[in-house]
Amino acid sequence: MSELPLRAQLASVLGRSAASLSRATGRGDGSVIGGRVALKVEPDLLAKLSQGRRLALVSATNGKTTTTRLIAQALREFGDVATNEYGANMPTGHITALSDNKSAVNGVLEVDEKYLPQVLKATNPSFVVLMNLSRDQMDRASEINLLAKKWRTALAQSNTHVIANADDPLVAWAGLGAPNATWVSAGQRWKEDSWCCPECGGHLKRDVDPYWQCPECGLARPETTWSVDNETDTLVAPGGQQIKLRLNLPGDANRANAAIAAATVAGYGIHPERTVERLREITSVAGRYTSVVTMGVEVRLLLAKNPAGWLESFAVLDPPRVPVILAVNAQIPDGKDTSWLWDVDYRVLRGRRVFIMGERRTDLALRLETDEVPFEVADRVDEVLAKLKAERPDITKVDVIANYTAFQQIRTAYGRVQ
Amino acid sequence: MSNTSSALRIVWIYPDLLSTYGDQGNVLILKRRAELRGIPTEIVHVHSSDAVPEQGDIYLLGGGEDRPQILAADRLRADGGLARAAARGACVFAVCAGYQIIGESYGDDEANPLPGVGIIDIRSGRGQTRAVGEIVADVDPTLGVGRITGFENHQGRTAIGPQARPLSTTVKGIGNDDRTEGAYQGQVLGTYLHGPALPRNPQLADLLLRWRVGALNPLPPAWGERLHEERLAAALR
């Protein structure tokens, strides 16, 4: 990447200086400020930094950070990879990621859903990776039907290759706009945002999961070449090759992420067996799924930012004898509106010891009361642990499910474990 | 109640199209507050491809994005069941996009007026700005509900015709037009308080129940009342 024009080089250097300053003064990790400074100097910087690389853009409502990390891990097979692995997923973060790694030919960028059309245009990526779309922080996020339409239009104007989850009707409809596609059957647990045909609004026929079809206009799930069998923990690659996953990340959602990652890096020429080996090396992603041992208890942290995410978290909870702490805030990154709590079905928590905390625990209390799930109110994780230890000295595990800032607060309290 | 069973029949209209903001909460709270008083309930989910039954007690319509809103309005108009139920005197509780489409007309994303179901004398259009945030309003004193609180997230502006009355006077937030919030006409009631408006305002849930079954036994204050107080205090801080 040494042939960058002088102005772009300068922009890039200034950006990195600002980022270092940000880190040195403890203000942040520098991803955003660095990119912001660089963009002032050279507005076309993202396009210039992308030239000559083989990039994959990853977008979805849930799982983008994890899937980006999985793809990067597999691509390291070929050496350095330019990637925004700390989740700075807007153009400033992309510029920082690419500036930080000028020599890497391969790159994978997590992209905020709203920015995908713009970043697609600027970076001309080899692959666009799309997993799911569902309701999320609606006081500030775009309406997802509108988002899918914008994706579809942007993809139609590109010459990229889409790797997409065929089981999510909105995602599939968007991906069908692209000139080339690889379809993955990655599953869809949360279906409440896709009962209607994205093309005509008809009520989709979804009798046999994962198939779907519109009885009114005929839009249907595309044929897939990759799939996951959650029952047997198996990835099925094109031609029917079966590979045991045995990931160290929990749950069906991560099996889906792994399948999507394997299909993507196959486009770079990596064999799925080798990919899966590399994916097993990952045990946590930016603190998600991390366990911290405190007061002799293993506390596992699960991030859930929206109804679909809560559903996935419930699916990976330990057996019912393991207590769970639910923590909900409503700061700007969480969305200021807690209405989504009513879209989650909490009845699966009946029979389990439940504690609630966070700035909006009263909202959660009413929600649980309505679902007839008994709970106890708490202020802090260590207070819960002390109480549990006093009652059951042999207790070994507690799960925590938290939304974004609640998760970050808990993570900070136990050190920024990766 | 004119349905064959003695249960209070709660009909949730088009959860597949109009359920974007936790609208299920309104169904669950009505059911719970009825059952805590020994009133049995029956919940009916009506999908966009189903006919709307005419023999319900309370019909609920939720919020939705622009496109699903138009699809829902077209389907409700073609079906006719909701209008016939309202004409019989059934209670209708509609939120946000649902509130707009039960009126005479509403606006699409380019502000073109589209025909609504026409069971309440309101007309909605599109404002210059999006109204997003906590909202507080004082309900028409004749309804005995008091102060309500919720979250609004819409670009609509609603004018109230002579047949309908404003539900409330805005204390904080935008509502219909910066002065009033929501509307009612007989037992048809609509509001911009989106999603779980009834969980956050137990006294509004009780108004709907009272309309159907008469005087209610009081319930001991629980988390709903506590949340109501907490959100009022937070919004007016």
- Kind of pairing, strands B122-139 and B165-172? antiparallel
Which range among A17-26, A34-43, A293-302 has the greatest average pLDDT?
A293-302
Question: Is the same domain home to A315 and A269?
Answer: no
Position A130 confidence tier, pLDDT thresholds 50, 70, 90: very high
* Whether A139 and B153 lie within 8 Å, measured CB to CB: yes
What span, in angstroms and rounded, lies between the C-alpha atoms of A363 and A342? 10
Q: CATH number, domain at A200?
A: 3.40.1190.10
In a domain, A295, yes or no: yes
Instruction: Write the CA distances from A241 to A129, A225, A252, A257, A279, integer angstroms.
Output: 22, 11, 20, 18, 18
Give every CB contact of residue A184 below 8 A, 6+ residues apart in sequence.
A163, A164, A165, A166, A224, A225, A226, A227, A259, A260, A263
Kindly state whether residue A2 falls inside one of the protein's structural domains: no
**Does A343 lie at the interface with B, CB-CB under 8 angstroms?**
yes
Instruction: Provide the residue range defining the domain that includes A354.
Output: 291-413
CATH number for the domain harbouring residue A320: 3.90.190.20
In a mutational test of the B interface, the residue from A204, A342, A359 whose CB has the highest number of chain B CBs within 10 Å is: A342
Does residue B5 register a pLDDT over 70?
no
Tell me: do A124 and A217 sit in the same domain: yes
Distance CA A45, CA B237 (A): 44
Residues of A in contact with B227 (CB under 8 A): 362-363, 365-366
Position B140, amino acid = D
Quote the mean pLDDT of chain A.
Answer: 90
Q: Which residues of B are catalytic?
A: 96, 194
Higher local confidence (pLDDT), B66 or A267: A267
Answer whether B223 sits within 8 Å of A366, measured CB to CB: yes
Q: Chain B closest CA to A363's CA: distance in Å?
A: 6
Q: Is the pLDDT of residue B89 over 60?
A: yes
Tokens (6 digits) for A330: 């409503």
At A139 the pLDDT is 58
The reply to whether residue A146 touches residue B65, judged by beta carbons under 8 angstroms, is yes
Q: What is the C-alpha to C-alpha distance for residues A94 and A125, in angstroms, rounded to an integer?
A: 13
Closest by CA to B156, choosing from B221, B93, B111, is B111
Whether A373 and chain B come into contact, CB under 8 Å, resolves to: no
Residue A320 lies in a domain: yes
| Residues A227 and A372 reside in one and the same domain | no
Instruction: Give yes or no: residues A357 and A236 share one domain.
Output: no
Same domain, A271 and A299: no
Within-domain flag for A27: no
Which of B32, B133, B134 minimises the CB distance to A370? B32
What are the tens digits of pLDDT across the range A365-397?
A: 999 999 999 999 999 999 999 999 999 999 999
Distances from the Cα of A268 to the Cα of A52, A54, A104, B173, angstroms? 15, 8, 14, 52
pLDDT tens-place string over residues B47-58: 888 999 999 999
The CA distance from A364 to A342, in Å, is: 9
Q: Are residues A90 and A155 in the same domain?
A: yes
Is A196 within 8 Å of B230 when comparing Cβ atoms? Answer: no
Which of A138, A146, A365 lies at the smallest CB-CB distance from B153?
A138
pLDDT exceeds cutoff 50 at A173: yes
- pLDDT class for A38, splitting at 50, 70, 90? low
> H helices of chain B, where?
24-35, 66-79, 81-87, 97-101, 197-200, 202-213, 223-236
Q: Is residue A22 part of a domain?
A: no
Percent above pLDDT 70 for chain A: 91
**A236, β-bridge pairs:** A227, A242
As a whole number, mean pLDDT of residues A106-123 equals: 96
pLDDT in tens, B6-45: 899 999 999 988 887 899 999 999 999 999 999 999 999 9
Cα B192 from Cα B179, distance rounded (Å): 13
What is the mean pLDDT of the segment spanning A148-152? 95
A-chain residue closest to B223, CA distance: A366
The verdict on B33 touching A (C-beta cutoff 8 Å) is no
- Give the minimum alpha-carbon distance from B209 to chain A in angstroms, rounded to a whole number: 17
| A362 vs B23, B48, B226: nearest CB | B226
Q: Which of A150, A388, A129 is nearest to A256 (CA)?
A: A129
ipTM: 0.95
B23 has a chain A CB within 8 A of its CB: yes
pLDDT digits (tens, 9 = 90+) for B147-200: 999 999 999 999 999 999 999 999 999 999 999 999 999 999 999 999 899 999
Are A98 and A230 in a shared domain?
A: yes
pLDDT of residue A32: 67
Q: Check residue B128 and report its DSSP letter.
A: E
Q: How many domains does chain A have?
A: 2
Q: Any chain B CB within 8 A of the CB of A363? A: yes
A36 within domain boundaries: no
Flag the least confident range among A9-23, A108-122, A126-140: A9-23
CB B64, CB B20: distance < 8 Å = yes
> Do A311 and A260 share a domain, yes or no?
no
- Statement: residue A67 has pLDDT above 90: yes
The pLDDT score that the predictor gives to residue A31 is 63
How many Cβ atoms from other residues are within 10 Å of residue A238's Cβ?
13
Q: Which residue has the higher pLDDT, A26 or B10?
A: B10
Both tokens of A35, joined, read: 């990119």
At which of A226, A246, A279 does a domain end?
A: A279
Q: What share of chain B is helix, strand, coil (3-state, %, to 5)?
A: 30, 30, 40
Residue A403 pLDDT > 90: yes
Q: Between β-strands B91-95 and A234-236, what pairing exists: parallel, antiparallel or unpaired? A: unpaired
Pairing of strands A397-402, A297-303: parallel
Question: Does a structural domain hold residue A28?
Answer: no
Residue A1 binned pLDDT confidence (cut-offs 50, 70, 90): very low
A229 and A326 belong to one structural domain = no
Q: In terms of Cα–Cα distance, which of A86, A160, A180 is closest to A116? A: A160
What was the pLDDT predicted at A28?
59
Q: Do B68 and A201 touch (CB under 8 A)?
A: yes
Map chain A to HEC letters. Answer: CCCCCHHHHHHHHHHHHHHHHHHHCCCCCCHHHHHHHHHHHCCCHHHHHHCCCEEEEEECCCCHHHHHHHHHHHHHHHCCEEECCCCCCCHHHHHHHHHHCCCCCEEEEECCHHHHHHHHHHHCCCEEEECCCCCCCCCCCCCHHHHHHHHHHHHHCCCCEEEEECCCHHHHHHHCCCCEEEEEECCCCCCCCCCECCCCCCECECCCCCCCECCCCCCECCCCCEEEECCCCEEECHHHCEEECCCCCCHHHHHHHHHHHHHHHHCCCCCHHHHHHHHCCCCCECCECCEEEECCEEEEEEECCCHHHHHHHHHCCCCCCCCEEEECCCCHHHCCCCHHHHHCCHHHHCCCCEEEECCCHHHHHHHHHHCCCCCEECCCHHHHHHHHHHHCCCCCEEEEEECHHHHHHHHHHCCCCC
> B3 pLDDT exceeds 80?
no
Nearest to B65 among A143, A192, A367 (CB): A143
In B, which residues are within 8 Å of A373 by CB distance? none
Q: What are B90-149's pLDDT values in tens digits?
A: 999 999 999 999 999 999 877 789 999 999 999 999 988 999 999 999 999 999 999 999
The pLDDT of residue A2 is above 50: no
Nearest to residue A198, comparing CAs of A176, A225, A226? A176
